[in-house]
């Protein structure tokens, strides 16, 4: 239980300014980017050193307090909404040091609260490349990225966060520091505990440090936009590009509803009558980029793209990416609530998924736009609504249920990048199996015997 004595102990350990007890402060940590009910925690703690973090975890655990670790709170699955009003939220935003960027051995050592884009920029300043680029990168933290195994626009060619974690340190429930992985390219010493922690959504322990892989940046890139009158053709183009053994660093899709809304918002010259847009960027050595861009253009024409716009300079490239970056803001400004899903299907099933999404929107009389990573089948059907309208929101929930069912029936997954949290916990067994849930709970029990780390998230306890 949270006693006055314990609060005094936290104040002595962290300093009064890092122990937030006021209602107004605690309210600020009752929600995240998911459209879910809020829960106000009992206490918010803000350690400023790794040692403090370990001691805070131990004290909370010993006192039987539920622990929710929070980076920037941008997750879309309820992962940082406290489990109960007795919960303690531990913030990592003051653990924000880049401890090392090693230019010789191509790695960096970071604290969990470092902002993703800040880290990528610091690496770029040393002519190194950190590819994972979630749309939230200007605010999300590396700890949150690891705990959600975040992806981004470059996932198709460069992979996701897990592909860049060489090692890490985390605190277990006793406040013991666990070290796994190393600064070496190869390391098979002990269990792959880093693999276990990646995507664990704050349910197994608290990540306090990470060793991240960096790579040399591509020397050149070329971007283009292909306009289609038919979603099927856009999807065939994606398959044909990959079949030609070209892996673009980015291959994005916008449906007609999204195209119209982006154009109304940004006035960037998008064709409002197009059924689909593909936004493509290839990168690498200049010779390879020129060759690949030519082949991609040829394929797009063969498959039946109505028009292809190739960026001739940085300004034109930025214009193309404005369309993609503007997708979510353009959709979100229409209605008070924006439910952003990330059902993912095998690439070849994108036309079937887009068709089903349009039918679902019609069936439930909802406004929906779809955009996303066509290259890896990760679509973001985005439902625009008003959560205060109970009748409308019930239709939204039914539509979301149907979206997941269709994605699973097409051989897809509930979540390509947003995680499970509480938002998708109820569908997890449908995608996996009863055995998976029971096995995960047994594993969790061994690692978190009292069930206090983000109790209600993922498989529960």
Binding site for ligand FAD (CB under 6 A): 32-33, 68-76, 79-80, 92, 112, 134-136, 140-141, 143-145, 147-148, 150-152, 201-202, 206-207, 328, 417-418, 454
- Nearest distance, CB of residue 365 and ligand FAD, angstroms: 26
Which residue's CB is nearer to ligand FAD, number 227 or number 414? Answer: 414
What is the rounded CA–CA span in Å between residue 433 and residue 155? Answer: 27
User: C-beta of 328: minimal distance to ligand FAD in Å?
Assistant: 6
CB of 98 to ligand FAD, least distance (A): 15
Question: Cα(124)–Cα(133) distance, rounded to whole angstroms?
Answer: 13
Minimum CB separation of residue 176 from ligand FAD in Å reads 15
CB 290 to ligand FAD: min, Å: 29
Q: How far is the CB of 56 from ligand FAD (least distance, A)?
A: 12
Q: How far apart are CA 191 and CA 189, in angstroms?
A: 7
Shortest distance in whole angstroms from residue 157 CB to ligand FAD? 15
DSSP letters, 372-435, are EEGGGTEEEEEEEE-TT-HHHHHHHHHHHHHHHHHHHHTT-BS-SSS--TTTTGGGHHHHS-HH
CB of 378 to ligand FAD, least distance (A): 9
Taking a C-beta distance cutoff of 8 angstroms, is the pair 136, 115 a contact? Answer: no
Q: To the nearest whole angstrom, how small is the minimum distance from the Cβ of residue 233 to ligand FAD?
A: 26
> Closer to ligand FAD at the Cβ: 66 or 80?
80
Q: Which is nearer to ligand FAD, 73 or 351 (CB)?
A: 73
Task: Tell me how far apart the alpha carbons of residues 61 and 66 are, in angstroms, rounded to a whole number.
Answer: 7
Residue 119 · residue 137 · CB < 8 Å: no
Stretch (H or E) spanning 193: helix 193-197
Rounded Cα distance, 249 and 155, in Å? 7
Rounded to 10 deg, the angle between the 50-62 and 4-14 helix axes is 170
Least distance to ligand FAD, CB of residue 453, Å: 8
Closer CB to ligand FAD, 201 or 341, in the complex: 201
Q: Strands 98-102 and 165-171: what pairing? A: unpaired
Nearest to ligand FAD of 133, 236 (CB atom): 133
- Residue 130 Cα distances to 71, 147, 158, angstroms: 19, 17, 9
Residue number, nearest CB to ligand FAD: 144
Q: What is d(CA 257, CA 362) in angstroms, rounded to the nearest whole number?
A: 13
CA distance 176 to 221: 45
As to burial, measured by CB atoms within 10 angstroms (0-12 exposed, 13-18 middle, 19+ buried), residue 322 is: middle
CB of 129 to ligand FAD, least distance (A): 17
Nearer to ligand FAD, 203 or 305 (CB): 203
Task: State which residue, 66 or 256, has the beta carbon closest to ligand FAD.
Answer: 66
Identify which of residues 140 and 370 has a Cβ nearer to ligand FAD in the complex: 140
- The residue (of 304 and 451) whose beta carbon lies closer to ligand FAD is 451
Which of 300/425 has CB closer to ligand FAD?
A: 425
How far is 266 from 50, CA to CA, in rounded Å?
44
What is the rounded radius of gyration, in angstroms, for the C-alpha atoms of the chain?
A: 23
Look at residues 169, 147, 175 and name the one whose alpha carbon lies nearest to residue 454: 147
In 227-276, which ranges are continuous DSSP H helix?
231-243, 256-266
Compute the distance between CA of residue 177 and CA of residue 170 in angstroms, rounded to an integer: 6
The tokens 């006055």 sit on which residue?
4
Q: Which is nearer to ligand FAD, 143 or 271 (CB)?
A: 143
């Amino acid at each position: 239980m949270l006693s006055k004595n314990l609060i005094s102990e936290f104040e002595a350990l962290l300093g009064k300014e890092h122990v937030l007890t006021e209602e107004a402060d605690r309210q600020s940590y009752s929600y995240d980017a998911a459209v879910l009910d809020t829960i106000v925690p009992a206490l918010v703690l803000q350690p400023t050193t790794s040692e403090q973090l370990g001691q805070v975890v131990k004290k909370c655990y010993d006192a039987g307090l539920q622990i929710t670790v929070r980076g920037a709170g941008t997750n879309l699955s309820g992962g940082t909404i406290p489990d109960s009003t007795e919960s303690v939220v531990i913030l990592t935003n003051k653990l924000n040091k880049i401890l090392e960027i090693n230019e010789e051995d191509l790695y960096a050592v970071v604290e969990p609260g470092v902002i993703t884009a800040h880290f990528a920029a610091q690496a770029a300043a040393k002519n190194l490349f950190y590819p994972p680029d979630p749309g939230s990168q200007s605010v999300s933290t590396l700890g949150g990225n690891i705990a959600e195994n975040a992806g981004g626009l470059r996932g198709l060619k460069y992979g996701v966060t897990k592909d860049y974690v060489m090692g890490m340190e985390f605190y277990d429930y006793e406040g013991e520091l666990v070290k796994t992985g190393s600064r070496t390219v190869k390391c098979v010493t002990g269990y792959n505990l880093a693999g276990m922690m990646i995507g664990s959504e704050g349910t197994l322990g608290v990540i306090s440090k990470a060793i991240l892989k960096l790579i040399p940046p591509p020397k050149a890139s070329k971007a283009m936009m292909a306009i289609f009158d038919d979603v099927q053709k856009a999807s065939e183009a994606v398959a044909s590009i990959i079949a030609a053994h070209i892996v673009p660093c980015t291959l994005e899709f916008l449906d007609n509803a999204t195209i119209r809304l982006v154009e109304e918002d940004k006035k960037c010259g998008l064709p409002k009558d197009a059924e689909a847009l593909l936004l493509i960027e290839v990168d690498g050595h200049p010779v390879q980029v020129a060759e690949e861009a030519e082949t991609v253009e040829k394929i797009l024409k063969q498959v039946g793209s109505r028009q292809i716009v190739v960026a001739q300079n940085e300004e034109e490239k930025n214009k193309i990416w404005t369309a993609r970056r503007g997708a979510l803001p353009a959709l979100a400004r229409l209605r008070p609530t924006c439910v952003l899903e990330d059902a993912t299907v095998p690439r070849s099933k994108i036309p079937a998924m887009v068709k089903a999404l349009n039918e679902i929107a019609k069936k439930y009389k909802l406004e929906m736009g779809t955009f996303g990573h066509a290259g890896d089948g990760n679509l973001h059907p985005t439902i625009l609504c008003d959560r205060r309208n109970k009748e409308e929101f019930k239709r939204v929930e039914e539509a979301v249920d149907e979206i997941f069912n269709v994605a699973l029936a097409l051989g897809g997954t509930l979540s390509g990048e947003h995680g499970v949290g509480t938002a998708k916990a109820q569908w997890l067994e449908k995608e996996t199996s009863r055995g998976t849930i029971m096995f995960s709970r047994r594993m969790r029990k061994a690692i978190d015997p009292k069930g206090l780390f983000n109790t209600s998230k993922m498989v529960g306890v």
